[in-house]
Amino acid sequence: MSKIDNNNAPWHCLKRASTPRKATVLAIGKAFPRQLIPQEYLVEGYIRDTKCQDVSIKEKLERLCKTTTVKTRYTVMCKEILDQYPELATEGSSTIRQRLEIANPAVVEMAFEASLACIKEWGRPATDITHIIYVSSSEIRLPGGDLYLASELGLRNDVSRVMLYFLGCYGGATGLRVAKDIAENNPGSRILLTTSETTILGFRPPNKARPYDLVGAALFGDGAAAVIIGTDPVTGKESPFMELSYAVQQFLPGTQSVIDGCLTEEGINFKLGRDLPQKIEDNIEEFCRKLMSKASLTDFNEMFWAVHPGGPAILNRLESTLKLNKGKLECSRKALKDFGNVSSNTIFYVMEYMREELKREGGEEWGLALAFGPGITFEGILLRSL
């Protein structure tokens, strides 16, 4: 039998009151391309599509696919694209024009679908959106996807637009921090934050001189996400589920080369240092405590955790370093399993799973959202569940 309060509402329907003038998450949505790839089929498809004859590369990719813990991913890349652009699978081809012909419209299409889902959940007209923040590391053009997206959604032509380009995996958390600042400094504003990513810019044949290409092939996926942020939710019209209490960005001096991305005529080349998990492990506790101190929190295990799953090694190191109880990173592991690492989007997939988790009886009030990326840059947000 459900617990009933004095207003005869079941306990699982009760909500904490939001803090006046604090930014809240009012709705969330996501979208993916049509092509779904189960991990067990990825190796054969990738080796076939790139015409790779090297057995050792195939064996290495098979090992990587097992260690990533990913089970399914979505991708824009498909047979029709490779039939139209066979040069994408040819080593050394100058293909940046072709990649952008595919990526630019693809990311906006996914962003549009995710935004529509988010606005539908929000329940208010799109014309009530006052600001739009567009995050992507997958398109390059002027004007940017923010303008195309605003036009397709039918937003007002005086909507204030912000583009956040090429931030990588921490881009979604940066978007939340920027949206929080805008919301709290513009009473009554409603910010649509949209992230959209595709791996088209980095797709290429495997090469032993670029070992990280195989990591990318085994780990990354495509998709989009959207959230609406605002303060002082309208009673009866909006349903906030999370409050953005405090946000911090920090970079680690001297680590610029640990995650290195370079745009070339052949697309984006990435290099990932083996010491990335260790760098995060060495600095994460102090960073988390800086955030927690704003609410006088001291116990890691009395909080919920929405961590960007850059890969299983990062989650394992964080869990071990902070001595987190088993299950604390379950939403991050589930997002990684279901979608792979979708760069800036993934933190929102984690948060959506976390929303359902926090509806259970006794769900924690306070938590942390964390994301890591080039720099090495840490983004952290102290969250309060509503």
Pairing of strands 131-136, 242-251: unpaired
Q: Could you tell me if 220 and 199 are in contact, meaning their C-beta atoms sit under 8 angstroms apart?
A: yes
Q: Is 373 left (phi over 0), alpha (psi -120 to 50) or beta?
A: beta
The strand pair at 366-373 and 377-385 is best described as antiparallel
Do 135 and 195 contact (CB within 8 A), yes or no? yes
Beta carbons within 10 angstroms of residue 158's beta carbon: 6
Contact of 267 with 205, CB cutoff 8 Å: no
Closest C-alpha among 365, 50, 15, 345 to residue 171:
345
**Per-residue DSSP letters for 327-360?**
TTTHHHHHHHHHH-B-GGGHHHHHHHHHHHHTTS
> Is 52 among the residues known to form the active site?
no
Distance from first CA to last CA of the chain, Å, rounded? 23
Smallest Cα–Cα separation from 379: which of 371, 328, 349, 306?
371
Written as six digits, the tokens of 335 are 């997002």
Tokens of 75: 């991708």
State the Cα–Cα distance between residues 377 and 276, nearest whole angstrom.
11
The sign of the torsion formed by the CA atoms of 176, 217, 109, 35 equals: negative
User: In 10 A of CB 187, how many CB atoms?
Assistant: 10
What number of other Cβ atoms are within 10 A of residue 154's Cβ? Answer: 10
- Among residues 169, 262, 288, 331, the one annotated as catalytic is 169
Give the list of residues 6+ apart from residue 179 with CB closer than 8 angstroms, or none: 23, 131, 133, 191, 193, 227, 229, 244
User: Which residues does the annotation mark as catalytic?
Assistant: 169
